[in-house]
Chain A
Amino acid sequence: GESVGLHLPTLSVQEGDNSIINCAYSNSASDYFIWYKQESGKGPQFIIDIRSNMDKRQGQRVTVLLNKTVKHLSLQIAATQPGDSAVYFCAENMDTGNQFYFGTGTSLTVIP
C-alpha cells in the first residue's frame, strides 16, 4: 500500500534561517503532492502543491522540490518566521485514486 513518511519528526530553526522539511513516498504512481501546515488548534492549511510533471514549484517564501527518482519531496521555507511554527505534512495522490495519503508530520519550531 501507499506509504508517506517524513525523515524527521521535529525541526528547530533560528528565525531568519531557511527551513527544509523532507518527505518520502513509496508509490511511484503518485502524481500529485500537497504540503499542508497545521497550527495548534487549527485544521490543516494548504501551502503549495506540485504535479509529477514538475521538479520544482515556488510560492511566496516556499519552494517544493520533487525528486521522482528517489521518491522524495521537500518543502523549503525561506527566512523562517515565528509564525511558521507548526506541523507540516505532505500528502500524495494517484490520478486513479480519489483520496490523499498523508504523512505523520514534522513539527517545526522557530527560535526567536
Chain B
Amino acid sequence: ETGVTQTPRHLVMGMTNKKSLKCEQHLGHNAMYWYKQSAKKPLELMFVYSLEERVENNSVPSRFSPECPNSSHLFLHLHTLQPEDSALYLCASSLSGVVHLDEQYFGPGTRLTVT
C-alpha cells in the first residue's frame, strides 16, 4: 500500500449523471494531484493542489471539477461526461507541490466507464 486510497475503484456512469471520485492520503503530504490514464496514452496531469490551493490546471474541460477541502482529501466531481472520458483516474500526493523535488505516491486509481 502506498498510503493513498481512492474510492470507488470502479465506476460506471451515464453521460447525464453526476458523480464524485475521492482520494485520501495518509502520508502527511501537502500536495495532491489528479491524473488521467487512457489506454495506450501517456499519463496526463489534470490538476495540482498545494496546501489546498490549486496551482495547476492543465486545460481540463469544466465537466471535471476538483475540490481539495484539506491537505489529506481530494475530490474530482464529474458531470455530463463524454464516452471519451472513460479512463483510469489516478490520484497522487507528494510532500510539496514542487514535482522535481519530491517523489509522488500514487493511489490505485478509479476505473471510470462513461456509457
Q: Count of chain A residues with Cβ under 8 Å from any Cβ of B? A: 24
Contact indicator A43/B56 (Cβ below 8 Å): no
Contact indicator A98/B41 (Cβ below 8 Å): no
Contact indicator B42/A4 (Cβ below 8 Å): yes
A63-71, A74-82, A101-109: which lies at the interface? A101-109
* Distance of B1 from chain A, by nearest CB (Å): 10
Contact indicator A99/B58 (Cβ below 8 Å): yes
Q: Looking across the interface, which residue of chain B has its beta carbon closest to that of A101? A: B42
30 A-B pairs with CB atoms under 8 Å apart are A4-B42, A41-B108, A43-B4, A43-B92, A43-B107, A43-B108, A44-B43, A46-B104, A49-B103, A89-B42, A89-B43, A91-B43, A93-B99, A94-B100, A95-B100, A97-B99, A98-B56, A98-B97, A98-B98, A98-B99, A99-B45, A99-B56, A99-B58, A100-B45, A100-B99, A102-B42, A102-B44, A103-B42, A104-B40, A104-B42
- In addition to A46-B104, A46-B105, A98-B99, 14 A-B residue pairs with Cβ atoms within 8 Å of each other are A31-B100, A43-B4, A43-B92, A43-B106, A43-B107, A44-B90, A45-B2, A46-B103, A49-B103, A94-B100, A99-B48, A100-B43, A100-B45, A104-B40
